[in-house]
Structure 1
Amino acid sequence: MTSVLQRPRLRRAALRYADHEWPVLPGACLTGGRFTCGRAGCPTIACHPATESWERTATTDVSRVAAWWRSRPHSVLIATGRAFDVLEVPAHLGLRVLGAARLLAGVVGPGRGQVRGPVAVTPAGRWMLLVAPGDPLRPELDECLDVVRHGPGSWIPAPPTRLPEGPVRWAVSPEEVQWRLPDSYAVQAMLVDALGPYGRHAGLRPLLPRQSTGTRYAA
């Protein structure tokens, strides 16, 4: 799908996120196999914000969001640490947690013991579990290089943003869980259980740097 054809789809998604109070910011545009933001001298060719002061730029103002995507096919980025945090994990952990969450929902019934939330997946196999904001990583996860918490000072690429390898997609869409966010520690407890024999072994490289705070750019 060309950038020209994708722009309306990106715009619709960005407006939907902003309308649900998720702070959106414009990302660099994918051109060929690299991202360009239009800033003179910018050396970053991976996915990154299109504005230098992106933390101040991120907004839920739908009129501003609509203007950003009026003429350019910006990647859709969402600032974390405000409406939600993100637990970024490799696919084997994400699949185990998703399966366990579905099983629990079937046992206790919908709306009770809610541990399911929106889950986005990158084409490189990183799973991004959206959770209620504010809780740091448990010590068992903080020592695991495969697990990254995106909190204040970070962002994620949101569907349907395209990366060079393919599109970011929803494994569990926000609509499927009615835009509800699970408790972070409840999901982290499931991640600790899911680690099992994998322990602290290194796996796929995180989408963004290991720190949970500070300005980040996709590697």
Structure 2
Amino acid sequence: MQWTANRPFVPPPLADRLDRLRLRRHALRYAAHGWAVTPGACLAGHRFACGRPGCPIMMCHPALESWEDTASTDPGLVSDWWRRRPYSVLLATGGRLDALEVPAALGLRVLGAARLHRSLPGAGRADALGPVAVTAAGRWMFLVRPGEPLRSELDHRLDVVRHGCGSWIPAPPSRMLEGPVRWAVPPERTQWRLPAPALVQTLMADALGATPAPRPVVPRQLSTARRGT
């Protein structure tokens, strides 16, 4: 094995295999806890390739055309999906979980408030802390129980997106153009428990009430057309 100044050089075929094994391991872990996964397109250079002939989508997207029907928690199927290619790991929303996606400034305020309420005995919002994933582009995704629509203060904002039925989010350790997705709050820290969406939305509305409204920005990597209904 050759070494560079900072780290060992890993031959590309071996690096691809290690990446694929790591992604498959995480996909199986999510599936084992009841979170349906589906393979996402692989990052190849400056675009995502799903392997479907003629696919025009360059950003992160599901690799399977019928992903909504085939997203699964079955370990055999999940393992087979990642047997040959280092697919991104996508969590299907609307079944066991929804995701509330917000910009970084709002995400930091909400996470701070959730941790504060958790540390206060008897606080009514003590159970608002749940798993939180963060993209390198600065989008924060709060995983919550499914089924709750956005309250009015959040629904009109283009920078707040609810992922419900028919949507998905990239899960760690998938790589986006800007860098890997990571956990700000790993699911293990909350024992894989998902908070009630109403609690998290209340914290978001409170944070927005104390923050001047920014110019609306549509998330680059996630289209508002994928909002859950």
Taking structure 2 as the reference length, the TM-score comes to 0.88
1:38 aligns with 2:51: yes
- Deviation of 1:129 after TM superposition, in Å, equals 0.4
Q: Which one of 198, 205, 209 corresponds to residue 212 of structure 2?
A: 198
Counterpart of 1:181 in structure 2 is: 194
Give the 4+ runs in structure 1 shifted more than 4 A: none
**What is the 5 A alignment of 1:146-185?**
146-185=159-198
Counterpart Cα distance in 2 of 1:173 and 1:213: 23
Q: Which one of 146, 149, 157 corresponds to residue 133 of structure 1?
A: 146
Counterpart of 1:217 in structure 2 is: none
Whether the aligned pair in 1 keeps the contact of 2:94 and 2:228 (CA below 8 Å) is: no
Q: Quick one: structure 1 residues 64 and 106, their matched pair in 2 at CA, closer, same or farther if it must change by over 3 Å? A: same
**What is the 5 A alignment of 1:80-91?**
80-91=93-104
Counterpart of 2:74 in structure 1 is: 61
Q: Quick one: structure 1 residues 130 and 206, their matched pair in 2 at CA, closer, same or farther if it must change by over 3 Å? A: farther
Residue 118 of structure 2: SS of its match in structure 1?
helix
- Deviation of 1:207 after TM superposition, in Å, equals 3.4
- Deviation of 1:71 after TM superposition, in Å, equals 1.4
- Deviation of 1:143 after TM superposition, in Å, equals 1.0
Q: Quick one: structure 1 residues 206 and 194, their matched pair in 2 at CA, closer, same or farther if it must change by over 3 Å? A: farther
Counterpart Cα distance in 2 of 1:133 and 1:108: 27
Can you list the C-alpha shifts for 1:153-211, whole angstroms capped at 9, x where unaligned?
Answer: 00001000001211000000000110000110110000001112323642462532224
Counterpart Cα distance in 2 of 1:109 and 1:33: 49
Counterpart of 1:213 in structure 2 is: 228
Counterpart of 2:6 in structure 1 is: none
Whether the aligned pair in 2 keeps the contact of 1:19 and 1:62 (CA below 8 Å) is: yes
- Deviation of 1:134 after TM superposition, in Å, equals 0.3
Counterpart of 1:98 in structure 2 is: 111
Whether the aligned pair in 1 keeps the contact of 2:68 and 2:166 (CA below 8 Å) is: yes
Identity of aligned residues (%): 61
Whether the aligned pair in 1 keeps the contact of 2:97 and 2:146 (CA below 8 Å) is: yes
Q: Which runs of no fewer than 5 residues in structure 1 stay unpaired?
A: 215-219
Whether the aligned pair in 2 keeps the contact of 1:157 and 1:168 (CA below 8 Å) is: yes
Counterpart Cα distance in 2 of 1:159 and 1:185: 25
Counterpart of 1:8 in structure 2 is: 21
Counterpart Cα distance in 1 of 2:171 and 2:211: 31
Whether the aligned pair in 2 keeps the contact of 1:126 and 1:204 (CA below 8 Å) is: no
Counterpart of 1:114 in structure 2 is: 127
- Deviation of 1:23 after TM superposition, in Å, equals 0.5
Whether the aligned pair in 1 keeps the contact of 2:218 and 2:224 (CA below 8 Å) is: no
Residue 108 of structure 2: SS of its match in structure 1?
helix
Whether the aligned pair in 2 keeps the contact of 1:21 and 1:60 (CA below 8 Å) is: yes
Residue 59 of structure 1: SS of its match in structure 2?
coil
Q: Which runs of no fewer than 5 residues in structure 2 stay unpaired?
A: 1-9
Q: Which one of 60, 63, 75 corresponds to residue 88 of structure 2?
A: 75
Can you list the C-alpha shifts for 1:6-62, whole angstroms capped at 9, x where unaligned?
Answer: 111101000000000100101111111211111111001111111101101100001
**What is the 5 A alignment of 1:15-34?**
15-34=28-47
Counterpart of 1:145 in structure 2 is: 158
